[in-house]
Amino acid sequence: MSINTVSTTSFPGQRPGTSGLRKKVSVFQQPHYLENFVQSVFDTLGDCAGKTLVVGGDGRFHNREAVQTILRMAAAHGFARVLVGQGGILSTPAVSCVIRKHGALGGIVLSASHNPGGPDGDFGIKYNIENGGPAPESVTETIYQHTESITQYRISDAADIDLQRPGAARIEAMDVEVIDPVADYAELMQQLFDFDAIRQLIAGGFRLCFDGMHAVSGPYAKAILEDQLGAPAGSVINAVPLEDFGGHHPDPNPVNAAQLIEIMAADNAPDFGAASDGDGDRNMILGRKFDVTPSDSLAVLAAHATLAPGYRAGLKGIARSMPTSQAADRVARALGIPAFETPTGWKFFGNLLDAGKATLCGEESYGTGSDHIREKDGVWAVLFWLNLLAATGKSVEQLVSEHWARFGRNYYSRHDYEGVDAHAANELMASLRIKLAAMAGQDLGHYVVDFADDFEYKDPVDGSVSKQQGVRIVMTNGSRIVFRLSGTGTEGATLRVYLERYEADPAFHHLPTQQALGPLILIAEQVAGIADWTGRAHPTVTT
């Protein structure tokens, strides 16, 4: 074994987006492409002597090759130890959990999350810091600067290690431990939730269906829901991670989890349905013939949090990303705790969680989490819901309907225009920004504009400022339209339009969502000229 220094030249565009660097698999397969990025991460970290690194991914195509490369480079960089998931597998929340539990310096997650996989699909890599959370912008920016000027990287010529069996190995002077991907995570879940109550609920005939979408959360859900909580075999469907996710988008929303939606719409549907995404950090919650919007899910969990043992002491605060509906803010107000509004992306919650300012966090994009780790967490959200259902004896629909009756309903939908021309998308946003200043006070038919701006966030902990985080048009009654461009796509641009209408009157709490949002949808089209700029009369995906 020896360590080699390899000459390289920089690749353009290795700037991490909302959640790491995501590109087509073919881009990552270019010689030196992954190596350049990994060396830039290590150069940003500096001396790693004596330190531990965690490595794992969602099992998508190219995952295992990338793990072997990273292990050889970590050895060359002088890490003392690497913890790697068996088979190269670790969900995003499990990486966060393992980093924190084992006092690692950080971790590398190989995933493009909900983006499709396979040889023609996407691949991704992100770095998580010592607190277990995604690297903040200051770190990702430094990594990017390194990628721009990189001239060499260092790598051991050691042979591949066997990832298939738990155990110890060595590369150069570095110890490698292949760990069970589920064990540490499952142990943490047992501390947070009332497993006995959930077990009793299931033993009493309560039925559930969890869709692993052939992505990483299958093994976690099987071990916890079936083996530990007694759900009958087969309660977890599509449970085996596949390199191409069975050809589907591992994106837990009603459009992509069509099989689960069908199961939950049947007359003999289970009581509870859920799905998670490629890397296991997202969740979709369903009742029988009833789906819960992620924004409502956050609000319901917050309102009932003290029913779960891990949250019995109460919440310190609730944080949500700006486009997420304001339902959780109403709960925070009722509980007398602070509500925070951050830019899109979990990295913005890290400081609030570390500082003890927030306990629960959520995003409209099927992401929910808490201070138990520093990532959003799909299986955690499922267990939280099961704990509430067991503790209250109510159905999913009942819990949500009662929530609306108490707090009012925030109708919510996101319209995505995927793969549009990037130049046109940027022009659309630019032309919107020009209009903002003149919008306050404008009468838009059903609505009057209270204010319109481009969301800017000043982190209350470290004072860092993030600009241009989404154009929002806020009406005098709290209804909103938000426009932003995705930072996770790999083809052209994706325009996201977020629509929210607040309705206090229970007589209007059961309208079809798109109908309830009809007037706002029209205003969004008129104000932004979506069809003119993108050539699209309709969104690609509506959730």
Spell out the alpha helix ranges (H) of 204-348: 217-221, 258-265, 294-304, 327-335
CA dihedral 202, 208, 211, 216 (to 10 degrees): -20
Task: Confirm or reject binding of residue 329 to Co ion (CB under 5 A).
Answer: no
Closer residue to ligand VG1, CB minimum distance, 363 or 459? 363
Find which of Co ion, ligand VG1, none residue 365 binds, CB within 5 to 8 Å per kind: ligand VG1
Of 512-541, which residues contact Co ion (CB under 5 A)? none
Two tokens, residue 55: 């490595």
The answer to whether the beta carbons of residues 397 and 287 sit under 8 Å apart is: yes
Q: Which stretch binds Co ion (CB under 5 A): 106-114, 160-168, 249-257, 393-401?
A: 106-114
The answer to whether the beta carbons of residues 117 and 278 sit under 8 Å apart is: yes
Residue with tokens 């277990």: 132
Give the residue among 340, 329, 371, 356 at the shortest CA–CA distance from 459.
340
Closer residue to Co ion, CB minimum distance, 60 or 501? 60
The answer to whether the beta carbons of residues 224 and 276 sit under 8 Å apart is: no
Closer residue to ligand VG1, CB minimum distance, 211 or 226? 211
Burial class (CB in 10 A: 0-12, 13-18, 19+), 462: exposed
**Calpha distance 216→377 (Å, rounded):** 12
Residue with tokens 């109708």: 411
**Calpha distance 521→409 (Å, rounded):** 18
Find which of ligand VG1, Co ion, none residue 542 binds, CB within 5 to 8 Å per kind: none
Task: Confirm or reject binding of residue 113 to Co ion (CB under 5 A).
Answer: yes
Closer residue to ligand VG1, CB minimum distance, 44 or 283? 283
Find which of Co ion, ligand VG1, none residue 345 binds, CB within 5 to 8 Å per kind: ligand VG1
Q: How far is the CB of 133 from ligand VG1 (least distance, A)?
A: 12
**Calpha distance 196→386 (Å, rounded):** 11
The answer to whether the beta carbons of residues 497 and 414 sit under 8 Å apart is: yes
Q: How far is the CB of 382 from ligand VG1 (least distance, A)?
A: 15
Task: Confirm or reject binding of residue 296 to Co ion (CB under 5 A).
Answer: no
Of 252-291, which residues contact Co ion (CB under 5 A)? 277, 279, 281-282
Find which of ligand VG1, Co ion, none residue 18 binds, CB within 5 to 8 Å per kind: ligand VG1
Closer residue to Co ion, CB minimum distance, 194 or 277? 277
Residue 113 bears catalytic tag = yes
Closer residue to ligand VG1, CB minimum distance, 329 or 363? 363
Count helices and strands (H / E) in the chain: 18, 26
Task: Name the residue number minimizing CB distance to ligand VG1.
Answer: 113
Q: Which amino acid is at 266?
A: A
Find which of Co ion, ligand VG1, none residue 86 binds, CB within 5 to 8 Å per kind: none
Give the residue among 30, 57, 42, 113 at the shortest CA–CA distance from 489.
113
Q: How far is the CB of 113 from Co ion (least distance, A)?
A: 3
Find which of Co ion, ligand VG1, none residue 344 binds, CB within 5 to 8 Å per kind: ligand VG1
DSSP conformational letter for 309: G
Out of 40, 113, 156, 370, pick the active-site residue.
113
Binding residues for ligand VG1, per CB under 6 A?
18-19, 113-114, 277, 281-282, 321, 344-346, 363, 365, 367, 486-488, 496
Q: How far is the CB of 92 from Co ion (least distance, A)?
A: 6
Residues belonging to the active site: 113
Residue numbers at the binding site for Co ion (CB under 5 A)? 113, 277, 279, 281-282
